[in-house]
Amino acid sequence: MGHVLRSSGYETSDVEIVRAEDCTLYTADGRAFVDFEAGVWAAALGHNHPRIRSTVEAQLDRISHIGYRVTNPLQEEAAAELLRAAGLPDGRCLFLSSGSEAVEFAVRIARLATGRPLLLTLEESYLAAYGSAGEKRSEDWVLFDRTLCANCPPNLECTLDCPHLEAIPFDRLGAFVFEPGSSGGLIRFPQEKLIRTLLEGVRAHGGLVVANEITTGVGRTGSWFGHQHYGLKPDIVAIGKGLGNGYPVSAIALREAIIDAIEGPDFHYAQSHQNDPLACAIALEVLRVVREERLVERSADVGARFRAGLEELRAKYETVRDVRGRGLMLAIEFESDRDAFVLRDLFYKLLDRGFLVGFKPAARLLRFLPPLTISEEQITGLLGTLAELLHEAAR
């Protein structure tokens, strides 16, 4: 691998994967690993899903890419299906290539529709790898630190006259860009009453709500979209990762009212792989599989039992500091390394036992975002192995 540029910032193991089936990855010599990260949280239906594979093969026999001056019926079919899932049946949809592109384009639309360049988001939000949403410069963004609210009593009402919120210039905000979980892979979920109050301030001054559903969408949190846990009705939704089940397709869904505000001679956005028939075919089939196989409901049900198993480990081992999650987006956070316990060692011991999990060393956590098709047996296997390793360290 001497010719490959490594730029992700993640430590790379020596495990070389050559094929996969559902939730299992295989090396050339037949070693098997259960993938509790679903690739980069994208293989929501499992790797090499038979219906997605058949869709790709069939569409390649027809056409995969077209230009701007012609159309394909799959574009309308996929858009209608996605808007239905997003609760925006009268809206519009555009298919793109990456989550970062979708969020960055959503930000551009929010600014254009409101005429206000300033945007609000939570400080810990991960929005994009580049552009305004990636850089979050102070002249363009208001970053609210939600940890300021961490010590608020649960029964205390959250209001706009709170000293922490008074400094937010709601009258100058074009939109609130809300990431309803993940927080750069830390699996943190913002306080519901805080989000409702921020939404109140933005809406009262004519601002929009953009939901960044790149990681939390398509059933990941036990709902179709993460913002549904907060009762939000966003104006713009950015969708990615699970939408393509590993194929690079993303999308934005727009409320109908936004269309009137942006359509005109000055509005243009064009890139080479926009509304490609192959991408639309894959997204359409993914959405159909999720709906027909009731994977959103399964995510909520299986995820609850998965979390209960992690909570049992928390109750038993003092090195476990916290367990958090929604649906099949879960994390277990640990105390600092001590005595025989080293978190990096735990990660590699799990890998040696055949379990690939997320690992965030700076945050002291292991992360689990498996395909929504993960079996109860595979989860039980992971929990049992994790318990054995924690028991060894405790001795």
Q: Is the pLDDT of residue 338 over 80?
A: no
Q: How far apart are the first and last CA of the chain?
A: 39
Mean pLDDT value across residues 334-347: 85
pLDDT band of residue 266 (cuts 50, 70, 90) is: confident
Predicted confidence (pLDDT) per residue in 38-89, tens digit: 999 999 999 999 999 999 999 999 999 999 999 999 999 999 999 999 999 9
Indicate the pTM of the whole model: 0.95
Mention every residue, 6+ apart, whose C-beta is less than 8 A from residue 395: 340
Token pair in block for residue 14 = 């020596």
CATH number of 17-48+294-394: 3.90.1150.10
Q: Is the pLDDT of residue 95 over 70?
A: yes
Mean pLDDT value across residues 214-242: 97
Token pair in block for residue 225 = 């979209």
Q: Is the pLDDT of residue 20 over 80?
A: yes
Q: Between these two residues, 114 and 156, which has the higher pLDDT value?
A: 114
Predicted confidence (pLDDT) per residue in 192-221, tens digit: 999 999 999 999 999 999 999 999 999 999
pLDDT band of residue 340 (cuts 50, 70, 90) is: low
Domain ranges in the chain?
17-48+294-394, 52-292
Predicted confidence (pLDDT) per residue in 364-387, tens digit: 999 999 999 999 999 999 999 999
The secondary structure of 205-251 as a DSSP string is TT-EEEEEETTTTTTTTSSSSGGGGGT---SEEEE-GGGGTTS--EE
What gap in Å lies between CA 326 and CA 226, rounded to an integer? 9
What gap in Å lies between CA 373 and CA 328, rounded to an integer? 10
Predicted confidence (pLDDT) per residue in 4-19, tens digit: 888 888 888 999 999 9
pLDDT for position 163: 87
80-94, 280-294, 328-342, range with the lowest pLDDT: 328-342
Mean pLDDT value across residues 147-170: 87
Interior/surface letters 354-392, b for 16+ CB within 10 angstroms, e for the rest = bbbbbbbeebbbbbbbbbbbbeeebbeebbebbeebbee
CB-CB contact of 252 with 95 (8 Å): no
Mean pLDDT value across residues 79-107: 97
How distant is the alpha carbon of residue 393 from its chain centre? 32
What's the CATH number of domain 52-292, 3.40.1260.10, 3.40.50.720, 3.40.640.10, 3.40.50.620? 3.40.640.10
pLDDT band of residue 339 (cuts 50, 70, 90) is: low
Q: Is the pLDDT of residue 93 over 90?
A: yes
pLDDT band of residue 267 (cuts 50, 70, 90) is: confident
Token pair in block for residue 102 = 């979708």
Q: What is the SS3 assignment for 317? A: coil
pLDDT band of residue 263 (cuts 50, 70, 90) is: confident
CA nearest to 45, candidates 288, 213, 276: 288
pLDDT for position 240: 97
Percent of the chain with pLDDT strictly greater than 90: 84
CB-CB contact of 127 with 136 (8 Å): yes
Mention every residue, 6+ apart, whose C-beta is less than 8 A from residue 266: none
Mean pLDDT value across residues 245-251: 97
pLDDT for position 336: 87
Long-range CB pairs of 63-66, under 8 A, 24+ apart, other chains included: 63/277, 63/278, 64/276, 64/277, 64/278, 65/273, 65/276, 65/277, 65/278, 66/276, 66/277
